Structures are given as C-alpha cells and as structure tokens.
Amino acid sequence: MSRARILTIEDDAAIRRGIVDALRFAGYDVLQSGNGVEGTELAVRQEYDLLLLDLVLPGRDGLEILRDVRRSRPTLPVIILSARGEEDDRVAGLKLGADDYVVKPFSVKELLARVEAVLRRSPQRPADVEAVAVPGGRADFARREVAFDDGARVELSERESDLLRYLAINRGRAIAREELLENVWRISARGLPTRTIDMHVARLREKLRDDPTTPHVLLTVRGKGYMFA
C-alpha cells in the first residue's frame, strides 16, 4: 500500500516547515503551499489523502478553499489549523465540512495523532485499484490489459492504464484535464495544451468498446473534463 499523501496550506514559513518535517519523519508524502491562490490549485487538482488548512492566508481565505474542496471532493478529510480559536470560527469550519479543528499553538505530537485519527476514520479512496469492471469485461491494471467475456484481450499502454486507473479511483467525479496532466503525467498543466488527454481517452474508448458518440464508461463532462461512470 502506498504512503498517505498530505497537502499542507500554511502561510507561516516556520510553522509550515515544522509541519512538513514532522509529517515526512512520520512517513507521509507531503505537498505544501504558503498562499491561498496556489493552495487552491493544489487542493482541487492534485491527488492527496488529507488537507491541513490554515484559515488566514494571503490571496484567498482558508474557508473559501474549503468550500471549493467540498464541492469537488466531498469526502476528502480536512483538518483546519488556525490561531482563530473562537467558537464561531470553529463552528464555521466544521459546518463547511472540516473533520477536525486544531488551534495554534499545537504540539507536533498532537497534530500527528489527529492526522492519524482522521485518516483512520475518513478514508477517501482506496490506495490501490488492481482491476475494475467494464461493460463486457474487466480492466486489469497489473497486467495492463482488458479481458472481455468473449475471450478477447486488449493490451493497454502504461499511460493508458494509469489514466484509466486514476479515473476509476475517482469514479463519479468529473476530472479536469489539468488535474489529469498533473497527477497522471506528473507535469505542470500551466500553459500546456490538453489535447493529449483527449487523444488518450479516445484510444481508451476504442479499447474498452465504449462508443465515442454515446459513451457509457468514460464520460465527457462539458467544460470540465472526463468521468468514469
């Protein structure tokens, strides 16, 4: 099983460095940002398992980021980290869907315990998907092939397999092309054309016997991207 990946959005460089170091020492993979604008892009596009979110950020407020995250990823675990410990602030964060609220200053030991507890009770998605059913067959990601009930087998390229797996893991969620570039291709989507995504989806549809005129497996979401139905 792969290690959990945690996104930390915190504008205080010293606090952020301490959190990142502690998480990495505890065995987590870490993404980080120090402002609200970049943090929003990471929060809605990157692949991760838990969000540690400060409320007072340059560029965008933490509660605004939380609203965006809840619209696109309603079950993603979120822990708010803030010096604003008043009851109204805690209630606002929890009403927007935060799983926990940690008031600064906090100890590293307490933070790690809260992270472990939230991850334990709020898994967002499986760490691995070895195979997925498709109409008339089964896609096997270890073998990188689609095996159909009629005995036919179709080989998938590594990129096609990774793309289908990512869409399957996020079943039922519309995935932007930019998110696919960043999480499947592992490259920044800034200023890059996304035509390559469309070409790979077209090839996948052909291999999955998914009619491109009326697809039932890989759906096109107008103005957004693609979704595994």
Note the pLDDT tens digit of each residue in 193-214: 778 899 999 999 999 999 999 9
Q: Are residues 114 and 9 in the same domain?
A: yes
What pLDDT digit, counting tens, does each position of 134-157 carry?
999 999 998 999 999 999 999 999
Residue 86: how many CB atoms within 10 A of its CB? 10
* Contact between 8 and 52 (Cβ < 8 Å): yes
Q: Are residues 171 and 94 in the same domain?
A: no
What pLDDT digit, counting tens, does each position of 17-41 carry?
999 999 999 999 999 999 999 999 9
Total-model pTM? 0.58
Section 154-173 average pLDDT: 91
Q: What total number of domains does the chain contain?
A: 2
Q: Are residues 75 and 167 in the same domain?
A: no
Which residues are paired to 27 by β-bridges?
Answer: none
Full domain range(s) for residue 223: 131-228
Q: Cis peptide leading into 126, omega within 30 of 0?
A: no
For 15-21, the CB contacts below 8 A with 24+ separation are 15/104, 18/108, 19/52, 19/81, 19/108, 19/111
Q: Are residues 86 and 109 in the same domain?
A: yes
Q: Are residues 93 and 150 in the same domain?
A: no
Six-digit token pair at 28?
A: 């987590």
For 142-146, the CB contacts below 8 A with 24+ separation are 146/207, 146/208
Bridging pattern class, strands 100-103 and 78-82: parallel
Q: Are residues 113 and 13 in the same domain?
A: yes
Nearest to 170 by CA among 130, 129, 224: 129
Section 88-103 average pLDDT: 80
| Residues 6+ positions from 61 with CB-CB distance below 8 Å | 36, 55
The amino acid occupying position 94 is L
Section 129-133 average pLDDT: 87
Of 94 and 55, more confident = 55
